[in-house]
Chain A
Amino acid sequence: MTSVPGKKHAATEDVISRVLRVGVTASLALISAGSLLSFVQGGGYGGDHSEVARLTGTGGAFPRNVAWLVGGLLHANGQAVIVLGLILLIATPVVRVAVSTAAFAQQRDRAYVAITLVVLALLGVSFVLGKAG
């Protein structure tokens, strides 16, 4: 969009810039708050060196279902707050792509609507692929 100057394009750039900035700041705030909460709550973070081995999990995977996340958030569980921050951080570039799709649609730029939709579709696949793999 740098190649075609114009008022609408300028606005798109500012919207995208703001989406990225707000997304990163908000998610980092959640991640920091969740970490502090985890230490205050103890629950695993308060233990000794054997806890580090467990937390850096040589063995199993970390729970990643919606029920765990929602339940954790309702109890203000520190790790659940961190995971919410991580999800927001991953969502930030996705929202950026969606914003540009909308902007291209507004400019009736079909080729770029298609290109950004392909990127969005690939991002959708990545969530499914992770769940399956």
Chain B
Amino acid sequence: MTPLGFTLIVLGISYVAGLLGSLVGVGGGIIVVPALTLLMGVSIQKAIAASIISVIATSSGAAASYVSERITNMRLGMVLEVATVAGALTGAYLAAIVSGKWLFMTFALVLFYTVWTMLRPKGHRIEPAPDPLADRLALHGSFFDRSVGQQISYRVSRTKLGLAVGYVAGVASGLLGIGGGVLKVPVMNLAMGIPIKVCTATSNFMIGVTAASSAAVYLMRGEVLPFVAAPVAVGVLLGARTGARVMGGLHSGAIRVIFVVVLAVSAAQMLLKGLR
């Protein structure tokens, strides 16, 4: 394979990853890392570093729209960011000391978890509880829900749980080069009482800065290879934009099935690679 061939194939794979990811509501990193390691022979550390760069691009792009549409709860985002960024630093630090074997196995675990979250029935909402911290930080909010044509108000509860989960999601992000929305969004929605659209928007808002902190670590460590990171960043972003545009007109059921199969196969492959 020539460098040009490699670039074009990675560009194509990343485009598909960004497209599929945005259609089913998952970031591109979760497909890009397996694709780069399993199909293209890139080392897992370099694949993770390239992926985290693309995560900044897609989440910041999406966050720009959500913020201007006033769906994002920026105060909540900034509070939880303290935890996600601290987690990302931990994760990026850990990535340097654990072996590739463990990275493959941990990644496989997160892939299996993602498959499970996509297959399980929607969880039950936990009853809201009074949260003095949320009151003090004025986290409660409202947004205009276009699908029902009215302003929806909501109260935030269990901020401390949100911080704890944010930290874990940050570790996963820094360690594995993914956004970590898969881990945060269900908890924000079901336990913190935040409407799903606000969860997605706010999660995206946080992911940009979370990924930036671990990307800085990878960059300064010399793990970010321009040759790999460039086509991944451009491909995933363009794919995600296409996905956002065609979203309404597609049968998401079939796409979800394809996606779950791709993830499950990748998970098994990554696990085997880790065990070997």
A-side residues, CB < 8 A to B, are 1-4, 13-14, 16-18, 20-21, 23-24, 27-28, 31-32, 34-35, 38-39, 44-49, 51-52, 55-58, 60-64, 79, 82-83, 85-87, 89-94, 96-97, 100, 111-112, 115-116, 118-119, 122-123, 125-127, 129-131, 133
Contacts and interface: CB of A to CB of B under 8 A. Distances in A.
B258 interface: no
Contacts of A20: 60-61, 63-64, 67, 208
Contact of A56 (B140, B215, B227): B227
Contacts of A79: 226-227
B231 interface: yes
Contact of B74 (A13, A14, A60): A13
Interface stretch (B3-11, B112-120, B266-274): B3-11
Contacts of B234: 28, 31-32, 35
Interface string B169-212: 00000000000000000000000000000000000000011011
A14 to B, nearest CB: 6
A46 B3 contact: yes
Contacts of A130: 92, 216-221
B208 A55 contact: no
Overall SS of chain B's interface? helix
Contacts, number: 219
B149 interface: no
A112 B219 contact: no
Contacts of B64: 17-18, 20-21, 24
A82 to B, nearest CB: 4
Interface in B25-74: 40-43, 46, 53, 56-57, 60-61, 63-65, 67-68, 70-74
Interface string B96-111: 1000000000000000
Given A100-B74, A119-B85, 9 more contacts: A13-B67, A20-B67, A39-B7, A44-B3, A55-B228, A62-B226, A91-B212, A92-B212, A93-B212
Interface size class of B (residues with CB under 8 A): 35 or more
